[in-house]
A and B are shown apart, each in its own frame.
Chain A
């Protein structure tokens, strides 16, 4: 019997130029170009993936790009509810911009706002692209980029004798 995750992944693969991988029965990932992500998202929504669990940005300084990961799953379809798909794409440092998925999944609202303030990725089409957690006077730097170093107090095990 074919697993539900394979059906979805094969469907995405047949329609788009995407790298898909099923890690297990319940986890899978789709990597697409950022230009195609809205279309992929719409397809996934048609398949029953109705909400975004998290929007994550991961900084890769060597490659000068940031990976954006949307974890999507379903509430309404009990089969797909077991599955969490990671929808991945990249934006570059030079152009840290991509189309917002707010119009597809309204639940991306919080995550996209947080990714914007923490990594400086601008989501076009998001209705409320402002900072969320950071204070008003926190300007110019993006805390979750690897270039932002925080001062750490040494733990006693790390100290030289």
Chain B
């Protein structure tokens, strides 16, 4: 089109010199739209020619520290990279430890794990939608995201005792039991969220400005998504039916009835829609869990027996809480290695744990969903407009601390 116009102009004796305007923009680390990283953007006019993600500003060296701490001390550490998604971070690690020490988890604890994970998923998605909103200048979505998230954070607080850094899941089970008060609160929260999602659709999803900013922006085809190794909602928005909860079910997911939303478009809007529908599915799952959760113990008998009877009487029978048995202080698992994966809110989270028989892991590899999005985001941003950088960033729900670990 432009070429033709130029030809016409030249033929009519009005040749126009189009001077390319090139330059680099240093977006971040002190920038409202960069997060904890530096994005080196090479611009040609409004088009991004190349992008270099300078990550690592919030690197916590989880893998190195993992080699220097006991297995139990690592539980609070591994959830720090993504505190808004800490249940999943925790769950994957504990599943790897359980695999090495070979312990079974009671049914009720499995349901509780799924319960906490789904509550956490809703909270995390709302956070992501809020960030996407403010990236596009929609401050209402930002405030709503964080406001509605509070409802779910409150439930997590009632269940686990902490708002975000829960450390709720321990090898062999979970720390606290579900009480009727929490069930009541969850039912209220589900009703509230269902109502609120309608409002969300009106002001955010069907907002013409949001649609204009997300549709056909950052399009990732199915082939590219597979090649770049995209994960989670971003992968599903590109038409790949892949969810660890279905592929390799863990916790109570084999028994729950839920669907995986998949979109073909692969653009930012599809990614946002997938997140929305996942929130709806999570609400469905929570209802099922509340209804179907079996009675029973919440810690494996192997560890439960080790709790002193006096403390058991006070804490378990009194408050429905587990006091950590002495075994946990510095247990030495047998030699071996384990690869576990869970579907965290942003996608597949992989733990690779190598034990050499000592009290500390020999190697802990933690591959978070955002870590795998670094490559995706870098590739997607190329060729898009500068203003789309933030909508790609936001729609991928990339979370720098989680990527840096």
Residues of A within 8 A of B (CB): 26-27, 50-54, 56, 58, 69, 71, 75-76, 78, 81-82, 84, 86, 105-107, 109-111, 118, 132-135, 143-144, 146, 148, 150, 152, 155, 157
In Å, the complex CA distance between A152 and B73 comes to 13
Stretch at the interface among B57-65, B259-267, B278-286: B57-65
A106 neighbours in B (Cβ, 8 Å): 227-229, 375
Which B residues lie within 8 Å of A135 (CB)? 56
- Inter-chain contact B226/A50, CB cutoff 8 Å: yes
- A77 to B247, alpha carbons, bound, how many Å? 11
Whether B91 is near chain A, meaning CB under 8 Å from some CB there, is no
Q: Are A53 and B228 in contact (CB under 8 A)?
A: no
A-chain residues with CB within 8 Å of residue B372 when the two chains form the complex: 53, 107, 110
Within the complex, which residue of B68, B371, B374 is in contact with A152, where a contact is CB–CB below 8 Å? B68
Inter-chain contact A51/B68, CB cutoff 8 Å: no
A85: nearest chain-B partner, CB-CB: B339
CB of A75, distance to nearest CB on chain B (Å): 5
**Pair B229/A53 contact, Cβ less than 8 Å:** yes
Residues of A contacting B352 in the complex (Cβ-Cβ under 8 angstroms): 54, 56, 69, 71
* A50-B227, A75-B235, A150-B68 known; A58 vs B354 contact (CB < 8 Å): yes
Determine the residue in chain A with the shortest Cβ distance to B240: A75
**Provided the pairs A27-B339, A82-B247, A107-B372 are in contact, do residues A53 and B350 lie with their beta carbons within 8 angstroms?**
yes
Known A51-B229, A58-B363; contact A110-B371, beta-carbon cutoff 8 A: yes
Could you say which of B73, B350, B404 has the most chain A C-beta atoms within 10 Å of its C-beta?
A: B350
Cβ of B194 to closest chain A Cβ, rounded Å: 32
Residues in chain B near residue A53, CB distance under 8 A:
229, 341, 348, 350, 367, 372
CB-nearest residue of chain B relative to A151?
B68
List 5 interface pairs A-B (beta carbons < 8 Å), by A numbering.
A51-B229, A78-B247, A81-B247, A118-B63, A150-B68
A73, chain B: closest CB distance, angstroms: 9
Task: List chain B positions with a Cβ less than 8 A from chain A.
Answer: 55-56, 59, 61, 63-65, 67-68, 73, 225-229, 235, 240-242, 247-248, 329, 339, 341, 348, 350, 352, 354, 362-363, 365, 367, 371-372, 374-375, 404
- Return chain B residues, CB-CB under 8 Å to A152: 68
CB distance from A106 to the nearest CB of B (A): 5
A152, closest chain B residue (CB):
B68
Q: How far is the CB of A154 from chain B (nearest CB, A)?
A: 12
Contact B56 A133 (CB under 8 A): yes
Q: How far is the CA of A132 from the CA of B372 in the complex (A)?
A: 13
Once bound together, how far apart are the Cα atoms of A51 and B229, in whole Å? 6
Q: Among B65, B339, B375, point to the contact of A84 (Cβ < 8 A).
A: B339
B235: A residues at CB distance < 8 A: 75
Name the one of B64, B229, B240 contacting A52, with C-beta atoms under 8 angstroms: B229
A54 and B362 in contact, given A107-B228, A157-B329 (Cβ under 8 angstroms):
no
